[in-house]
Structure 1
Amino acid sequence: MTRSMQRVAEAVAADPAGCAALTVTGLAELTGTSEATVVRTARLLGYPGYRDLRLALAGLAAQQQSGRAPSVTADIAVDDPIADVVAKLAYDEQQTLADTAAGLDTVQLAAAVTALAAARRIDVYGVGASGLVAQDLVQKLLRIGLVAHAHSDPHLAVTNAVQLRAKDVAIAITHSGSTGDVIEPLRVAFEHGATTVAITGRPDGAVTQYSDHVLTTSTARESELRPAAMSSRTSQLLVVDCLFIGVAQRTYETAAPALSASYEALAHRHRPRGGTKR
Protein backbone atom coordinates (compact mmCIF):
# COMPACT_ATOMS: atom_id res chain seq x y z
CA MET A 1 0.00 0.00 0.00
CA THR A 2 0.99 3.59 -0.53
CA ARG A 3 1.07 5.80 2.56
CA SER A 4 -2.26 7.38 1.65
CA MET A 5 -3.84 3.93 1.24
CA GLN A 6 -2.41 2.92 4.61
CA ARG A 7 -4.19 5.86 6.21
CA VAL A 8 -7.49 4.68 4.77
CA ALA A 9 -6.89 1.09 5.92
CA GLU A 10 -5.88 2.20 9.42
CA ALA A 11 -8.99 4.37 9.71
CA VAL A 12 -11.42 1.57 8.81
CA ALA A 13 -9.61 -0.89 11.07
CA ALA A 14 -9.71 1.50 14.01
CA ASP A 15 -13.35 2.54 13.66
CA PRO A 16 -15.40 0.28 11.38
CA ALA A 17 -18.73 1.63 12.65
CA GLY A 18 -17.72 5.26 12.17
CA CYS A 19 -16.29 4.67 8.69
CA ALA A 20 -19.35 2.63 7.67
CA ALA A 21 -21.39 5.79 8.20
CA LEU A 22 -19.21 7.80 5.81
CA THR A 23 -19.57 8.23 2.05
CA VAL A 24 -16.53 7.73 -0.12
CA THR A 25 -16.03 11.51 -0.05
CA GLY A 26 -16.36 11.61 3.72
CA LEU A 27 -13.76 8.90 4.26
CA ALA A 28 -11.40 10.62 1.84
CA GLU A 29 -11.73 13.88 3.78
CA LEU A 30 -11.29 12.10 7.12
CA THR A 31 -8.04 10.47 6.00
CA GLY A 32 -6.71 13.39 3.98
CA THR A 33 -6.72 11.36 0.78
CA SER A 34 -8.77 11.27 -2.43
CA GLU A 35 -11.89 9.37 -3.43
CA ALA A 36 -9.82 7.39 -5.92
CA THR A 37 -7.45 6.33 -3.11
CA VAL A 38 -10.39 5.13 -1.01
CA VAL A 39 -11.74 3.04 -3.92
CA ARG A 40 -8.28 1.60 -4.69
CA THR A 41 -7.84 0.66 -1.04
CA ALA A 42 -11.22 -1.09 -1.01
CA ARG A 43 -10.24 -3.08 -4.10
CA LEU A 44 -6.85 -3.98 -2.66
CA LEU A 45 -8.64 -5.29 0.43
CA GLY A 46 -10.67 -7.60 -1.80
CA TYR A 47 -13.88 -5.62 -2.34
CA PRO A 48 -15.24 -4.63 -5.79
CA GLY A 49 -15.78 -1.04 -4.62
CA TYR A 50 -16.25 1.21 -1.61
CA ARG A 51 -19.95 0.36 -1.33
CA ASP A 52 -19.07 -3.28 -0.63
CA LEU A 53 -16.37 -2.33 1.89
CA ARG A 54 -18.81 -0.02 3.63
CA LEU A 55 -21.38 -2.81 3.98
CA ALA A 56 -18.72 -5.14 5.34
CA LEU A 57 -17.67 -2.52 7.90
CA ALA A 58 -21.26 -2.09 9.02
CA GLY A 59 -21.57 -5.86 9.41
CA LEU A 60 -18.31 -6.02 11.36
CA ALA A 61 -19.49 -3.24 13.65
CA ALA A 62 -22.75 -5.09 14.30
CA GLN A 63 -20.85 -8.29 15.02
CA GLN A 64 -18.53 -6.53 17.46
CA GLN A 65 -21.48 -5.02 19.31
CA SER A 66 -23.66 -8.13 19.52
CA GLY A 67 -21.26 -11.02 19.13
CA ARG A 68 -23.54 -12.44 16.43
CA ALA A 69 -22.85 -12.92 12.74
CA PRO A 70 -23.40 -9.75 10.65
CA SER A 71 -26.78 -9.38 9.03
CA VAL A 72 -26.36 -6.07 7.20
CA THR A 73 -27.08 -6.38 3.47
CA ALA A 74 -28.22 -4.14 0.63
CA ASP A 75 -30.11 -6.96 -1.09
CA ILE A 76 -33.82 -6.61 -1.44
CA ALA A 77 -35.84 -9.24 0.42
CA VAL A 78 -39.13 -10.71 -0.79
CA ASP A 79 -41.04 -9.11 2.10
CA ASP A 80 -39.36 -5.68 1.98
CA PRO A 81 -41.86 -2.77 2.07
CA ILE A 82 -41.84 -0.73 -1.13
CA ALA A 83 -40.42 2.28 0.73
CA ASP A 84 -37.40 0.16 1.72
CA VAL A 85 -37.02 -1.02 -1.87
CA VAL A 86 -36.87 2.59 -3.08
CA ALA A 87 -34.36 3.56 -0.39
CA LYS A 88 -32.11 0.55 -1.04
CA LEU A 89 -32.14 1.03 -4.81
CA ALA A 90 -31.42 4.74 -4.53
CA TYR A 91 -28.55 4.10 -2.11
CA ASP A 92 -27.10 1.42 -4.37
CA GLU A 93 -27.24 3.68 -7.43
CA GLN A 94 -25.59 6.58 -5.61
CA GLN A 95 -22.76 4.39 -4.36
CA THR A 96 -22.28 2.82 -7.78
CA LEU A 97 -21.88 6.22 -9.44
CA ALA A 98 -19.53 7.44 -6.72
CA ASP A 99 -17.39 4.30 -6.93
CA THR A 100 -17.24 4.42 -10.72
CA ALA A 101 -16.30 8.11 -10.83
CA ALA A 102 -13.65 7.71 -8.15
CA GLY A 103 -12.09 4.65 -9.76
CA LEU A 104 -12.23 5.71 -13.41
CA ASP A 105 -8.76 6.06 -14.96
CA THR A 106 -8.90 9.49 -16.60
CA VAL A 107 -5.70 8.84 -18.57
CA GLN A 108 -7.33 5.82 -20.21
CA LEU A 109 -10.53 7.81 -20.68
CA ALA A 110 -8.70 10.67 -22.40
CA ALA A 111 -6.91 8.22 -24.70
CA ALA A 112 -10.21 6.59 -25.66
CA VAL A 113 -11.76 10.00 -26.34
CA THR A 114 -8.83 10.92 -28.61
CA ALA A 115 -9.26 7.71 -30.60
CA LEU A 116 -13.02 8.17 -30.95
CA ALA A 117 -12.75 11.80 -32.02
CA ALA A 118 -10.45 10.83 -34.90
CA ALA A 119 -12.14 7.56 -35.84
CA ARG A 120 -13.24 6.79 -39.39
CA ARG A 121 -15.76 4.30 -38.03
CA ILE A 122 -16.83 3.12 -34.56
CA ASP A 123 -18.29 -0.30 -33.74
CA VAL A 124 -19.77 -0.98 -30.29
CA TYR A 125 -20.43 -4.52 -29.03
CA GLY A 126 -22.79 -5.46 -26.21
CA VAL A 127 -25.42 -8.11 -25.54
CA GLY A 128 -28.34 -8.17 -23.13
CA ALA A 129 -28.38 -5.21 -20.76
CA SER A 130 -24.97 -4.08 -22.03
CA GLY A 131 -26.44 -4.06 -25.53
CA LEU A 132 -28.83 -1.31 -24.43
CA VAL A 133 -25.84 0.74 -23.26
CA ALA A 134 -24.11 0.12 -26.60
CA GLN A 135 -27.16 1.50 -28.42
CA ASP A 136 -27.18 4.54 -26.15
CA LEU A 137 -23.55 5.34 -26.97
CA VAL A 138 -24.07 4.89 -30.70
CA GLN A 139 -27.16 7.11 -30.67
CA LYS A 140 -25.16 9.87 -29.00
CA LEU A 141 -22.24 9.57 -31.43
CA LEU A 142 -24.53 9.59 -34.47
CA ARG A 143 -26.09 12.85 -33.34
CA ILE A 144 -22.71 14.62 -33.48
CA GLY A 145 -21.95 13.35 -36.96
CA LEU A 146 -19.77 10.30 -36.27
CA VAL A 147 -20.14 6.99 -38.08
CA ALA A 148 -21.07 4.48 -35.39
CA HIS A 149 -22.80 1.09 -35.24
CA ALA A 150 -24.08 -1.00 -32.32
CA HIS A 151 -23.90 -4.79 -32.68
CA SER A 152 -25.76 -7.23 -30.44
CA ASP A 153 -25.79 -10.12 -32.92
CA PRO A 154 -22.44 -11.92 -32.45
CA HIS A 155 -22.26 -13.09 -36.07
CA LEU A 156 -22.84 -9.62 -37.49
CA ALA A 157 -20.43 -8.19 -34.95
CA VAL A 158 -17.60 -10.46 -36.10
CA THR A 159 -18.47 -9.91 -39.76
CA ASN A 160 -18.20 -6.16 -39.28
CA ALA A 161 -15.10 -6.39 -37.09
CA VAL A 162 -13.22 -7.98 -39.99
CA GLN A 163 -13.64 -4.72 -41.92
CA LEU A 164 -12.07 -2.51 -39.25
CA ARG A 165 -8.62 -1.00 -39.70
CA ALA A 166 -6.10 1.22 -37.94
CA LYS A 167 -8.23 4.39 -38.03
CA ASP A 168 -11.28 2.63 -36.61
CA VAL A 169 -12.37 2.05 -33.00
CA ALA A 170 -14.11 -0.97 -31.48
CA ILE A 171 -15.71 -0.79 -28.04
CA ALA A 172 -16.77 -3.82 -26.00
CA ILE A 173 -19.24 -3.37 -23.14
CA THR A 174 -19.39 -6.29 -20.74
CA HIS A 175 -20.00 -6.03 -17.01
CA SER A 176 -18.53 -9.47 -16.29
CA GLY A 177 -15.57 -9.03 -18.64
CA SER A 178 -16.07 -12.58 -19.87
CA THR A 179 -18.95 -12.40 -22.38
CA GLY A 180 -17.73 -14.47 -25.33
CA ASP A 181 -20.13 -12.87 -27.84
CA VAL A 182 -18.52 -9.50 -27.06
CA ILE A 183 -14.92 -10.63 -26.66
CA GLU A 184 -14.74 -12.42 -30.01
CA PRO A 185 -15.53 -9.41 -32.25
CA LEU A 186 -13.22 -7.26 -30.12
CA ARG A 187 -10.44 -9.80 -30.66
CA VAL A 188 -11.01 -9.70 -34.41
CA ALA A 189 -11.00 -5.88 -34.42
CA PHE A 190 -7.84 -5.86 -32.31
CA GLU A 191 -6.04 -8.24 -34.67
CA HIS A 192 -7.05 -6.12 -37.68
CA GLY A 193 -5.43 -3.04 -36.17
CA ALA A 194 -8.40 -1.11 -34.80
CA THR A 195 -8.07 0.76 -31.52
CA THR A 196 -10.00 -1.25 -28.94
CA VAL A 197 -11.72 -0.12 -25.73
CA ALA A 198 -13.31 -2.21 -22.98
CA ILE A 199 -15.96 -0.89 -20.58
CA THR A 200 -16.10 -3.53 -17.87
CA GLY A 201 -16.57 -4.14 -14.18
CA ARG A 202 -13.67 -6.62 -14.21
CA PRO A 203 -10.33 -5.01 -15.10
CA ASP A 204 -8.75 -8.47 -14.95
CA GLY A 205 -11.42 -10.04 -17.19
CA ALA A 206 -10.71 -11.84 -20.44
CA VAL A 207 -11.93 -8.87 -22.50
CA THR A 208 -8.98 -6.73 -21.42
CA GLN A 209 -6.39 -8.89 -23.19
CA TYR A 210 -7.69 -7.48 -26.49
CA SER A 211 -8.18 -3.91 -25.22
CA ASP A 212 -5.88 -0.98 -25.83
CA HIS A 213 -7.80 1.03 -23.24
CA VAL A 214 -9.77 -0.27 -20.24
CA LEU A 215 -12.47 1.80 -18.54
CA THR A 216 -13.52 0.18 -15.27
CA THR A 217 -16.99 0.48 -13.80
CA SER A 218 -18.06 -0.27 -10.26
CA THR A 219 -18.88 -3.92 -9.76
CA ALA A 220 -22.56 -4.10 -8.85
CA ARG A 221 -23.74 -7.00 -6.71
CA GLU A 222 -26.54 -8.98 -8.26
CA SER A 223 -28.88 -11.27 -6.34
CA GLU A 224 -31.81 -13.61 -6.88
CA LEU A 225 -34.23 -10.69 -7.03
CA ARG A 226 -31.89 -8.44 -9.01
CA PRO A 227 -30.41 -10.15 -12.08
CA ALA A 228 -28.83 -7.62 -14.45
CA ALA A 229 -29.00 -5.06 -11.64
CA MET A 230 -29.73 -1.53 -12.79
CA SER A 231 -26.58 -0.27 -11.08
CA SER A 232 -24.49 -2.27 -13.57
CA ARG A 233 -25.97 -0.24 -16.41
CA THR A 234 -25.86 2.98 -14.40
CA SER A 235 -22.09 2.76 -14.08
CA GLN A 236 -21.73 1.88 -17.77
CA LEU A 237 -23.94 4.80 -18.77
CA LEU A 238 -21.80 7.16 -16.70
CA VAL A 239 -18.70 6.05 -18.63
CA VAL A 240 -20.63 6.37 -21.92
CA ASP A 241 -21.62 9.95 -21.04
CA CYS A 242 -18.01 10.77 -20.17
CA LEU A 243 -16.86 9.42 -23.53
CA PHE A 244 -19.55 11.32 -25.42
CA ILE A 245 -18.91 14.66 -23.73
CA GLY A 246 -15.17 14.24 -24.23
CA VAL A 247 -15.62 13.56 -27.94
CA ALA A 248 -18.09 16.43 -28.32
CA GLN A 249 -15.52 18.77 -26.75
CA ARG A 250 -12.76 17.58 -29.09
CA THR A 251 -14.95 17.89 -32.19
CA TYR A 252 -17.00 20.89 -31.11
CA GLU A 253 -16.77 22.79 -34.44
CA THR A 254 -18.49 19.92 -36.25
CA ALA A 255 -20.36 18.37 -33.32
CA ALA A 256 -22.31 21.50 -32.38
CA PRO A 257 -23.85 22.06 -35.85
CA ALA A 258 -24.59 18.33 -36.18
CA LEU A 259 -26.31 18.26 -32.81
CA SER A 260 -28.34 21.35 -33.69
CA ALA A 261 -29.37 19.77 -36.98
CA SER A 262 -30.52 16.61 -35.24
CA TYR A 263 -32.56 18.62 -32.73
CA GLU A 264 -34.17 20.56 -35.59
CA ALA A 265 -34.94 17.38 -37.52
CA LEU A 266 -36.64 15.84 -34.50
CA ALA A 267 -38.55 19.03 -33.74
CA HIS A 268 -39.73 19.22 -37.35
CA ARG A 269 -40.89 15.61 -37.21
CA HIS A 270 -43.10 16.33 -34.22
CA ARG A 271 -44.65 19.55 -35.59
CA PRO A 272 -48.30 19.13 -36.61
CA ARG A 273 -48.81 18.84 -40.35
CA GLY A 274 -51.62 20.90 -41.79
CA GLY A 275 -54.49 21.14 -39.33
CA THR A 276 -57.31 23.62 -39.06
CA LYS A 277 -56.89 27.30 -38.29
CA ARG A 278 -58.19 28.68 -35.04
Structure 2
Amino acid sequence: MAMAASWGSNRGFAESRVPLTTRIRGALGGLQPAMARVGSFIVAHPKDVAGMTISSLAEATEVSEATVVRFCREVGIDGYSQLRLGLALELGARSEVDDRFEGSTDISPEDTLASAVEKILYADARSVEDTAKSISMETLAAVVGHVTNARRIDIFGVGASGLVGLDLHQKLHRIGLISFSHIDPHQAMVSAALLDDTCVAIAISHSGVTTDTIEALATAKKKGATSVAVTNAPRSPLAAAADYVLTTSAMETTFRSAATGSRLAQLAVVDSLFVGVAQQRFEESMHALDETRRVIASKRVHGTE
Protein backbone atom coordinates (compact mmCIF):
# COMPACT_ATOMS: atom_id res chain seq x y z
CA MET A 1 0.00 0.00 0.00
CA ALA A 2 1.39 3.42 -0.96
CA MET A 3 1.94 5.79 1.90
CA ALA A 4 0.80 9.39 1.77
CA ALA A 5 3.44 12.08 1.68
CA SER A 6 4.85 12.65 5.16
CA TRP A 7 6.95 15.78 4.76
CA GLY A 8 6.02 18.69 6.95
CA SER A 9 4.99 22.12 5.78
CA ASN A 10 7.73 24.40 4.56
CA ARG A 11 5.77 27.54 3.83
CA GLY A 12 7.90 30.53 2.82
CA PHE A 13 10.85 28.39 1.66
CA ALA A 14 10.75 29.65 -1.91
CA GLU A 15 10.06 33.27 -1.08
CA SER A 16 12.85 33.56 1.46
CA ARG A 17 15.58 32.05 -0.70
CA VAL A 18 14.95 32.96 -4.32
CA PRO A 19 16.98 35.94 -5.63
CA LEU A 20 14.93 39.06 -6.34
CA THR A 21 15.98 39.25 -9.99
CA THR A 22 14.94 35.61 -10.43
CA ARG A 23 11.49 36.37 -9.02
CA ILE A 24 11.16 39.35 -11.34
CA ARG A 25 12.29 37.35 -14.38
CA GLY A 26 9.65 34.71 -13.67
CA ALA A 27 6.91 37.34 -13.37
CA LEU A 28 7.67 39.16 -16.63
CA GLY A 29 5.31 37.09 -18.78
CA GLY A 30 2.28 38.05 -16.67
CA LEU A 31 2.94 41.81 -16.53
CA GLN A 32 1.51 44.58 -18.65
CA PRO A 33 3.98 45.89 -21.29
CA ALA A 34 5.02 49.00 -19.36
CA MET A 35 5.67 47.09 -16.13
CA ALA A 36 7.41 44.31 -18.06
CA ARG A 37 9.75 46.95 -19.48
CA VAL A 38 10.63 48.03 -15.95
CA GLY A 39 11.22 44.43 -14.90
CA SER A 40 13.40 43.64 -17.90
CA PHE A 41 15.55 46.70 -17.21
CA ILE A 42 16.02 45.70 -13.56
CA VAL A 43 17.03 42.14 -14.49
CA ALA A 44 19.50 43.45 -17.08
CA HIS A 45 20.95 46.25 -14.90
CA PRO A 46 20.54 45.35 -11.19
CA LYS A 47 23.65 47.26 -10.07
CA ASP A 48 22.50 50.45 -11.80
CA VAL A 49 18.95 50.19 -10.45
CA ALA A 50 20.18 49.62 -6.89
CA GLY A 51 21.60 53.14 -7.01
CA MET A 52 18.80 54.83 -8.96
CA THR A 53 16.04 57.04 -7.69
CA ILE A 54 12.52 56.09 -8.68
CA SER A 55 12.40 59.01 -11.11
CA SER A 56 15.64 57.88 -12.77
CA LEU A 57 14.30 54.36 -13.28
CA ALA A 58 11.02 55.73 -14.63
CA GLU A 59 12.90 57.90 -17.09
CA ALA A 60 15.22 55.06 -18.17
CA THR A 61 12.27 52.77 -18.91
CA GLU A 62 9.99 55.50 -20.31
CA VAL A 63 7.21 54.95 -17.79
CA SER A 64 5.66 57.00 -15.00
CA GLU A 65 6.76 56.78 -11.38
CA ALA A 66 3.32 55.40 -10.59
CA THR A 67 4.00 52.50 -12.98
CA VAL A 68 7.21 51.70 -11.11
CA VAL A 69 5.28 51.64 -7.83
CA ARG A 70 2.63 49.36 -9.38
CA PHE A 71 5.40 47.12 -10.68
CA CYS A 72 6.79 46.71 -7.16
CA ARG A 73 3.38 45.68 -5.84
CA GLU A 74 2.84 43.26 -8.73
CA VAL A 75 6.02 41.34 -7.91
CA GLY A 76 5.32 41.28 -4.18
CA ILE A 77 7.53 44.17 -3.01
CA ASP A 78 6.15 46.77 -0.62
CA GLY A 79 7.76 49.77 -2.30
CA TYR A 80 10.68 51.15 -4.27
CA SER A 81 12.98 51.42 -1.27
CA GLN A 82 12.43 47.70 -0.60
CA LEU A 83 13.24 46.97 -4.24
CA ARG A 84 16.58 48.75 -3.98
CA LEU A 85 17.35 47.04 -0.67
CA GLY A 86 16.52 43.62 -2.14
CA LEU A 87 18.80 44.25 -5.10
CA ALA A 88 21.62 45.41 -2.83
CA LEU A 89 21.33 42.26 -0.71
CA GLU A 90 21.32 40.04 -3.78
CA LEU A 91 24.31 41.80 -5.32
CA GLY A 92 26.24 41.46 -2.08
CA ALA A 93 25.73 37.70 -2.11
CA ARG A 94 26.77 37.22 -5.73
CA SER A 95 29.90 35.38 -6.79
CA GLU A 96 32.57 36.65 -9.19
CA VAL A 97 31.06 34.46 -11.92
CA ASP A 98 27.63 36.02 -11.36
CA ASP A 99 29.15 39.49 -11.68
CA ARG A 100 30.92 38.54 -14.90
CA PHE A 101 27.67 37.47 -16.55
CA GLU A 102 25.54 40.21 -14.99
CA GLY A 103 22.64 41.32 -17.14
CA SER A 104 23.00 38.94 -20.03
CA THR A 105 24.07 35.50 -21.13
CA ASP A 106 23.16 36.40 -24.71
CA ILE A 107 25.38 34.88 -27.38
CA SER A 108 26.54 37.14 -30.18
CA PRO A 109 28.32 36.47 -33.51
CA GLU A 110 31.49 37.86 -31.90
CA ASP A 111 31.56 35.16 -29.20
CA THR A 112 34.14 32.43 -29.59
CA LEU A 113 32.98 28.83 -29.21
CA ALA A 114 34.64 28.77 -25.79
CA SER A 115 32.86 31.91 -24.58
CA ALA A 116 29.52 30.70 -25.98
CA VAL A 117 29.86 27.37 -24.16
CA GLU A 118 30.83 29.20 -20.97
CA LYS A 119 27.66 31.31 -21.15
CA ILE A 120 25.46 28.31 -21.87
CA LEU A 121 26.85 26.28 -18.98
CA TYR A 122 26.53 29.23 -16.62
CA ALA A 123 22.90 29.78 -17.63
CA ASP A 124 22.14 26.07 -17.29
CA ALA A 125 23.74 25.84 -13.84
CA ARG A 126 21.96 29.00 -12.65
CA SER A 127 18.64 27.65 -13.94
CA VAL A 128 18.92 24.51 -11.83
CA GLU A 129 20.26 26.42 -8.80
CA ASP A 130 17.53 29.06 -8.92
CA THR A 131 14.85 26.42 -9.47
CA ALA A 132 16.02 24.66 -6.31
CA LYS A 133 15.52 27.93 -4.45
CA SER A 134 12.17 28.71 -6.08
CA ILE A 135 10.33 25.43 -5.68
CA SER A 136 7.98 25.20 -2.72
CA MET A 137 8.58 22.06 -0.66
CA GLU A 138 5.04 22.26 0.68
CA THR A 139 3.59 22.27 -2.82
CA LEU A 140 5.95 19.54 -4.01
CA ALA A 141 5.00 17.32 -1.06
CA ALA A 142 1.31 17.78 -1.84
CA VAL A 143 1.82 16.88 -5.51
CA VAL A 144 3.90 13.84 -4.52
CA GLY A 145 1.01 12.66 -2.34
CA HIS A 146 -1.54 13.02 -5.14
CA VAL A 147 0.65 11.32 -7.75
CA THR A 148 1.52 8.47 -5.38
CA ASN A 149 -2.15 7.63 -4.84
CA ALA A 150 -3.49 8.43 -8.31
CA ARG A 151 -5.24 5.81 -10.40
CA ARG A 152 -3.69 7.37 -13.47
CA ILE A 153 -1.35 10.27 -14.30
CA ASP A 154 -1.65 12.16 -17.60
CA ILE A 155 1.11 14.54 -18.67
CA PHE A 156 0.64 17.34 -21.22
CA GLY A 157 3.25 19.41 -23.04
CA VAL A 158 4.35 20.37 -26.54
CA GLY A 159 7.76 20.99 -28.09
CA ALA A 160 10.67 20.78 -25.65
CA SER A 161 8.22 20.68 -22.72
CA GLY A 162 6.66 17.62 -24.31
CA LEU A 163 10.04 15.88 -24.23
CA VAL A 164 10.27 16.60 -20.50
CA GLY A 165 6.79 15.12 -20.14
CA LEU A 166 7.96 11.95 -21.88
CA ASP A 167 10.84 11.73 -19.42
CA LEU A 168 8.46 11.96 -16.45
CA HIS A 169 6.19 9.35 -18.05
CA GLN A 170 8.95 6.79 -18.49
CA LYS A 171 10.18 7.37 -14.91
CA LEU A 172 6.72 6.84 -13.41
CA HIS A 173 6.10 3.87 -15.69
CA ARG A 174 9.35 2.22 -14.56
CA ILE A 175 8.14 2.18 -10.94
CA GLY A 176 4.78 0.65 -11.82
CA LEU A 177 2.49 3.69 -12.00
CA ILE A 178 -0.03 4.05 -14.81
CA SER A 179 0.95 7.19 -16.69
CA PHE A 180 0.54 8.65 -20.16
CA SER A 181 2.35 11.49 -21.92
CA HIS A 182 0.60 13.42 -24.67
CA ILE A 183 2.45 15.67 -27.13
CA ASP A 184 -0.33 15.66 -29.72
CA PRO A 185 -2.83 18.41 -28.77
CA HIS A 186 -5.90 16.51 -29.99
CA GLN A 187 -4.92 13.32 -28.16
CA ALA A 188 -4.25 15.39 -25.05
CA MET A 189 -7.78 16.79 -25.13
CA VAL A 190 -9.33 13.35 -25.69
CA SER A 191 -7.40 11.86 -22.76
CA ALA A 192 -8.11 14.84 -20.50
CA ALA A 193 -11.84 14.40 -21.11
CA LEU A 194 -11.65 10.84 -19.76
CA LEU A 195 -10.08 11.71 -16.40
CA ASP A 196 -11.86 11.91 -13.07
CA ASP A 197 -11.16 12.74 -9.41
CA THR A 198 -8.93 9.68 -8.99
CA CYS A 199 -6.47 11.02 -11.57
CA VAL A 200 -3.70 13.61 -11.73
CA ALA A 201 -3.02 15.84 -14.74
CA ILE A 202 0.41 17.48 -15.07
CA ALA A 203 0.96 20.24 -17.64
CA ILE A 204 4.44 21.48 -18.53
CA SER A 205 5.11 24.83 -20.22
CA HIS A 206 8.00 27.24 -19.70
CA SER A 207 6.00 30.31 -20.72
CA GLY A 208 2.69 29.18 -19.26
CA VAL A 209 0.84 30.64 -22.26
CA THR A 210 0.77 27.65 -24.66
CA THR A 211 -2.93 27.34 -25.50
CA ASP A 212 -2.90 23.60 -26.27
CA THR A 213 -1.37 22.81 -22.88
CA ILE A 214 -3.67 25.20 -21.01
CA GLU A 215 -6.78 23.77 -22.64
CA ALA A 216 -5.79 20.18 -21.85
CA LEU A 217 -5.14 20.99 -18.18
CA ALA A 218 -8.36 23.01 -17.87
CA THR A 219 -10.36 20.12 -19.34
CA ALA A 220 -8.75 17.64 -16.94
CA LYS A 221 -9.51 19.91 -13.97
CA LYS A 222 -13.12 20.31 -15.10
CA LYS A 223 -13.44 16.53 -15.08
CA GLY A 224 -12.26 16.45 -11.46
CA ALA A 225 -8.59 15.53 -11.86
CA THR A 226 -6.00 17.13 -9.60
CA SER A 227 -4.23 19.64 -11.85
CA VAL A 228 -0.53 20.49 -11.64
CA ALA A 229 1.43 23.07 -13.66
CA VAL A 230 5.21 23.07 -14.12
CA THR A 231 6.07 26.54 -15.40
CA ASN A 232 8.52 29.41 -15.20
CA ALA A 233 5.63 31.88 -15.02
CA PRO A 234 3.68 31.61 -11.73
CA ARG A 235 1.29 34.38 -12.87
CA SER A 236 0.52 32.76 -16.22
CA PRO A 237 -2.80 31.38 -17.54
CA LEU A 238 -1.46 27.84 -17.09
CA ALA A 239 -0.70 28.51 -13.43
CA ALA A 240 -4.17 29.99 -12.98
CA ALA A 241 -5.70 26.76 -14.35
CA ALA A 242 -3.81 24.54 -11.89
CA ASP A 243 -4.51 23.38 -8.34
CA TYR A 244 -0.75 23.23 -7.70
CA VAL A 245 2.12 25.11 -9.36
CA LEU A 246 5.72 23.85 -9.37
CA THR A 247 7.80 26.84 -10.39
CA THR A 248 11.02 26.74 -12.39
CA SER A 249 13.47 29.65 -12.63
CA ALA A 250 15.25 29.26 -15.94
CA MET A 251 17.85 31.61 -17.35
CA GLU A 252 17.88 31.42 -21.14
CA THR A 253 20.47 32.47 -23.72
CA THR A 254 19.91 34.09 -27.12
CA PHE A 255 18.68 30.83 -28.58
CA ARG A 256 15.56 30.66 -26.40
CA SER A 257 13.73 28.44 -28.92
CA ALA A 258 16.32 25.74 -28.24
CA ALA A 259 14.98 25.59 -24.65
CA THR A 260 18.32 24.97 -22.96
CA GLY A 261 18.05 26.34 -19.42
CA SER A 262 14.28 25.87 -19.27
CA ARG A 263 14.54 22.19 -20.19
CA LEU A 264 17.09 21.51 -17.46
CA ALA A 265 15.03 23.41 -14.90
CA GLN A 266 11.94 21.39 -15.82
CA LEU A 267 13.91 18.15 -15.62
CA ALA A 268 15.11 19.14 -12.14
CA VAL A 269 11.49 19.51 -11.03
CA VAL A 270 10.50 16.25 -12.75
CA ASP A 271 13.37 14.39 -11.06
CA SER A 272 12.42 15.81 -7.67
CA LEU A 273 8.80 14.76 -8.15
CA PHE A 274 9.79 11.28 -9.31
CA VAL A 275 12.17 10.67 -6.40
CA GLY A 276 9.54 11.87 -3.94
CA VAL A 277 6.96 9.47 -5.37
CA ALA A 278 9.43 6.55 -5.50
CA GLN A 279 10.40 7.21 -1.88
CA GLN A 280 6.78 7.15 -0.72
CA ARG A 281 6.23 3.70 -2.29
CA PHE A 282 9.77 2.48 -1.77
CA GLU A 283 9.28 -1.30 -1.77
CA GLU A 284 6.99 -1.29 -4.82
CA SER A 285 9.35 1.06 -6.67
CA MET A 286 12.46 -0.99 -5.99
CA HIS A 287 10.70 -4.19 -7.05
CA ALA A 288 9.49 -2.58 -10.28
CA LEU A 289 12.95 -1.15 -11.04
CA ASP A 290 14.55 -4.56 -10.44
CA GLU A 291 12.05 -6.30 -12.72
CA THR A 292 12.38 -3.80 -15.56
CA ARG A 293 16.16 -3.75 -15.22
CA ARG A 294 16.19 -7.54 -15.49
CA VAL A 295 14.24 -7.69 -18.75
CA ILE A 296 16.27 -4.87 -20.30
CA ALA A 297 19.55 -6.54 -19.37
CA SER A 298 19.07 -9.10 -22.17
CA LYS A 299 19.22 -6.24 -24.70
CA ARG A 300 22.78 -5.29 -23.76
CA VAL A 301 25.83 -6.45 -25.69
CA HIS A 302 27.23 -9.52 -23.93
CA GLY A 303 30.20 -8.80 -21.67
CA THR A 304 29.63 -5.04 -21.33
CA GLU A 305 28.18 -5.10 -17.80
Q: TM-score range by the shorter chain?
A: 0.7 to 0.9
The residue aligned with 2:16 is 37
- Specify whether residues 43 and 226 from structure 1 end up closer, same or farther in structure 2 by C-alpha distance, changes over 3 A only: closer
Kept in 1, the 8 Å contact 2:126–2:251? The answer is: no
Deviation at 1:55, TM superposition (A): 5.5
Q: What amino acid maps onto 1:152 in structure 2?
A: I
Structure 1, unmatched stretches of 5+, are 1-33, 64-68, 273-278
Query: Does structure 2 conserve the Cα–Cα contact (< 8 Å) formed by 1:222 and 1:228?
Result: no
Q: Does 1:129 align with 2:107?
A: no
Q: Which whole-Å deviations, capped at 9, do the CAs of 1:206-258 have from their partners, x for residues lacking one?
A: 012221110000043353x4423300001000000000000000111111100
> Could you state the TM-score of these two structures normalised by the residue count of structure 2?
0.69
| Corresponding residue number in structure 2 for 1:214 | 245
AA in 2 matched with 1:106: M
- Give the Cα separation in 1 of the matches to 2:14 and 2:220: 35
Of residues 18, 26, 34, the one that matches 1:48 is 26
What CA deviation, in whole Å up to 9, does each residue of 1:175-206 have, x standing for no partner?
A: 01011111111111100101110000000100
Q: Is 1:252 the counterpart of 2:282 in the alignment?
A: yes
Q: Is the 8 A contact 2:231 2:246 kept in 1?
A: yes
- The one-letter amino acid of 1:237's match is L
Moved over 4 A (4+): 52-55, 58-61
Shift of residue 270 of structure 1? 1.9
Check whether the contact 1:119–1:167 (CA below 8 A) recurs between aligned residues.
yes
Q: Is the 8 A contact 2:164 2:266 kept in 1?
A: yes
Q: What displacement does 1:85 show?
A: 1.1
Q: 1:149 is paired with a residue of what secondary structure? A: strand
1:234 counterpart residue number: 264
- Report whether the alignment pairs 1:176 with 2:238: no
Asked whether the 8 Å contact 1:220–1:229 carries over to 2, the reply is no
Amino acid in structure 1 at the alignment position of 2:266: Q
- Of the three residues 142, 149, 156, the one matched with 2:187 is 156
Offset of residue 58 of structure 1: 5.3
> For structure 2, which runs of at least 5 residues remain unmatched after alignment?
1-12, 28-39, 53-59, 61-101
Instruction: Give the % identical residues.
Output: 41
CA distance in 2, matches of 1:81, 1:43: 27
Amino acid at match of 2:258: A
RMSD: 2.7
Shift of 1:35: 7.8
Give the one of 183, 197, 201 matched to 2:228.
197
Corresponding residue pairs, total: 231
Are residue 85 (structure 1) and residue 134 (structure 2) matched? no
For the Cα contact (< 8 Å) 1:59–1:72, is it kept in 2?
A: no
Structure 1 residue identity aligned to 2:290: S
**CA distance in structure 2 between the aligned counterparts of 1:42 and 1:79, rounded to whole angstroms:** 27
2:126 aligned residue: 95
Letter in 2 for 1:56: H
SS in 2 for 1:257: helix
